[in-house]
Chain A
Amino acid sequence: SQTIHQWPATLVQPVGSPLSLECTVEGTSNPNLYWYRQAAGRGLQLLFYSVGIGQISSEVPQNLSASRPQDRQFILSSKKLLLSDSGFYLCAWSVLLGPNEQFFGPGTRLTVL
């Protein structure tokens, strides 16, 4: 069966520090991968998605970047965190980009102080 992992589960970082969140998927090949962010009291915002190694689509211009160095690994990064980067970061995967189920990871709760 397929599983999706995210780490760390929680993170507290000072403003201006770098960030690296990792997401890995097991049990499937060539998944589509997604990063979402949910700010406190707000909806889920799609940040990036990837249909293959090295292929990244950005949905919203921001202080973050994403990379896919391996087929089942998706990394979210920032060189300098802002207060507004605080939120709940969710990674997801799907078999297809089209009409099919997206499976979400457990999330990383980031607090920038």
Chain B
Amino acid sequence: DAKTTQPPSMDCAEGRAANLPCNHSTISGNEYVYWYRQIHSQGPQYIIHGLKNNETNEMASLIITEDRKSSTLILPHATLRDTAVYYCIVRGGTPLVFGKGTRLSVIA
């Protein structure tokens, strides 16, 4: 399974867009990019996933580069409740394995 690289932490001002990057240069053709987040002392929450096209839902947008070697999760208007650890996971037909993620702090 492909390995992902994320910055350990990021800050974002409340109301601004939060752009969380993820590198996955060894991704293979049948692997999807997933994003989850974990708010302190809770279980992870699914955000979005995609294969090669950009995806958008009510929570976020996922932008995947054409070569699929990196992606960006965009929270369009970050709020204080978006403060969490965000995990980028690349996986095919096997269970999700979580790395260390990016700790996003939304600042008022």
User: Chain A: residues with CB nearer than 8 A to chain B?
Assistant: 32, 34, 36, 43-46, 49, 59, 88, 90, 92, 97-99, 101-107, 109
Contact = CB atoms under 8 A, between A and B. Distances in A.
A44 B94 contact: no
Interface in B37-65: 38, 41-46, 49, 51
Nearest to B93: A98
A103 B36 CA distance: 10
B43 A43 contact: no
A97 B95 contact: yes
B49 A101 contact: yes
Given A43-B100, A44-B98, A49-B95, A102 B46 contact: yes
Which 9 residue pairs are nearest across A and B when measured between Cβ atoms? A104-B43, A44-B98, A98-B93, A99-B32, A101-B46, A49-B95, A90-B43, A43-B100, A104-B44
A contact patch SS:
strand
A43 B98 CA distance: 7
Interface in B58-99: 87, 91-99
A34 B99 CA distance: 16
B47 to A, nearest CB: 10
5 contacts: A34-B95, A59-B95, A88-B41, A97-B95, A107-B43
